Amino acid sequence: MAARFRIPDPPRLPGPAAVVVACVLPAVAFALAAGIPAIFERIPFTPFFLAVALAAWAGGFVPGLLSVAVSVGLGWAFLAGSKTAALAEGARLSAVVFCPFGIVVAAVGAAAREGFRERKRTAETLRRSEARERARAEEFEALMRAVPAVVLIARDPEARELTGSRTATELLRLPPGENPSMTSGQPPRHYRILHGGRELPPLELPTQRAARGETVDDIEVELEFDDGTRRRLLGNAHPLFDELGRPRGGISAFVDVTKLANAVRARDDFLAIASHELKTPLTALQLHVETLVRRRGEGGAAVERAGEAIRRQVARLAALVNTLLDVSRLNESRLQLRLEPVDLAAVVHEVAGRFAAEAEHVGSPIHVEGEGPIPGLWDRLRVEQVVTNLLSNAVKYGDGKPISVRVAGGPRTASLVVADQGIGIASEEQERIFERFERGGAAQGYGGLGIGLWIARELVAAHGGSIEVESAAGAGAVFHVELPLERAAPPPA
């Protein structure tokens, strides 16, 4: 198919160039007419009309007028020099008649020039506007993919059609691009939205309220999915208005505060437990001190027993304070290891010896398998703390049954296994028990701060090792610790 003919856009000539063109074109027309007089004597001013039109097209109305003036002179000269007497005698009249028609042609050419230039400017403006709109659309899409918040945009007052951020579709468990609106023809059915324990009707949802012109600030809602999972969201919703001030939609943004709410709850639980754990030895310490004061003059076994009880309670308080300090150091990454040659087997036997009396008392004797030495480059105090925390849990939750400890060395790592036959840990809780202030459901009736396993995990990780648990509810628990034999000292925090 042949290419479609298109009139070229007029050139953008500077003033001097336009003047030159206005003078040259009539000269070219004169040369053309003089070269073929047999043709152009019949239509004498035709090439000059073309010259005027081109001059106005190229330079505008003023160069077109200049071209008319030059064409009048050259056209008169062409006719005056004609061998045809009638043409020569009418040259002056023809030139006079050409003048107004030439001005009209110049005006038409200049108008056409401006029309084309305006069309070009309009097309360029439209192109730039479309480019800006495409850029804004790309920026909007990138923002909706990148923003780590639930963002919903309604483009109609009923919020029937919502555009959601990637975080929104992932949190709401929807395929990308699916409409999450509860007021659409096919609303999602796999979750409910609650506020204050009550399910919100579709028209009372924050985005729908904003789309009708209402501002909703600092509202907390809860998503309840069919599988029982719950997520807490906190956010705002604001309306969008058209040029007449009428609501045309709304936008809402929410952040997932589920983890924050759980952390606050865990913190409150921890503070309550810590207060209780600290109060118990303080109360006992106060009673023993009062006993010691009353019997300070008696001496003998009673005073000795009170003094020993005070020593035990002070040691217990010191251990609690050190544990809280460890939490602070680990939170702020201020814990530094002091690496030195350590025999892991010796550490395990020593810690097991400390627990021997307590374990025998509750009916959970500790049996250690593995002889030393198992040398490695570790922080002795922190390795001892890991073993202590694991054995403390085994004795506490061992249900009065024997506890086994196995320690072994390999070419690159050393392993420690602590196994009890107690209450066990449900499978869904085995990750959670290694978090701060968390305990398994079966352990809620026992004392403790809920940070022993978290500290153990952090200390093992600081050495470059790993800790895992194998367990089931009511079937005991087996903790596996792997420690590399050598590890470079970490840089100061």
pLDDT grade for 389, boundaries at 50, 70 and 90: confident
Give the pairing of strands 403-409 and 366-369: parallel
Residue 199's pLDDT is what? 92
101-127 per-position pLDDT tens digit: 888 988 888 888 888 888 888 888 899
Question: For 48-105, how does the pLDDT look when each residue is reduced to its tens digit (9 = 90+)?
Answer: 888 888 888 888 888 888 888 888 888 888 778 777 777 777 778 888 888 888 889 8
Domains, the chain, ordered by start = 15-122 (no CATH), 150-256 (3.30.450.20), 262-331 (1.10.287.130), 340-484 (3.30.565.10)
| pLDDT value at residue 306 | 64
Would you say 250 and 154 are in contact if contact means Cβ atoms under 8 Å apart?
Answer: yes
Share of the chain above pLDDT 90, in %: 24
Residue 493 reports pLDDT greater than 50 = no
Instruction: Provide the edge-to-edge strand list for the sheet that holds 191-195.
Output: 162-164, 150-154, 247-256, 230-241, 216-225, 191-195, 198-199
Give the residue-averaged pLDDT of 136-161: 87
- What Rg, from alpha-carbon coordinates, does the chain have? 47
Token pair belonging to 303: 């005073």
Q: For the chain, what percent of residues have pLDDT higher than 70?
A: 79
Of 429, 421, 345, residue with least CA distance to 387: 345
Q: What is the mean pLDDT of the chain?
A: 81
How confident is residue 491, by pLDDT bands cut at 50, 70 and 90? very low
Is this structure's pTM higher than 0.75? no
CA distance 278 to 274: 6
Name residues whose C-beta falls within 8 Å of residue 161's C-beta, 6 or more positions apart in sequence. Answer: 154, 155, 179, 181, 184
Q: What is the pLDDT of residue 154?
A: 92
Pairwise CA distance, residues 466 & 325, whole Å: 23
Least confident interval from 271-285, 416-430, 455-469 = 271-285
> For the ranges 38-42, 379-383, 400-404, 431-435, which has the lowest average pLDDT?
38-42
Band of pLDDT at residue 198, cut at 50, 70 and 90: very high
Q: pLDDT tens for residues 167-197?
A: 999 999 999 888 999 998 889 999 999 998 8
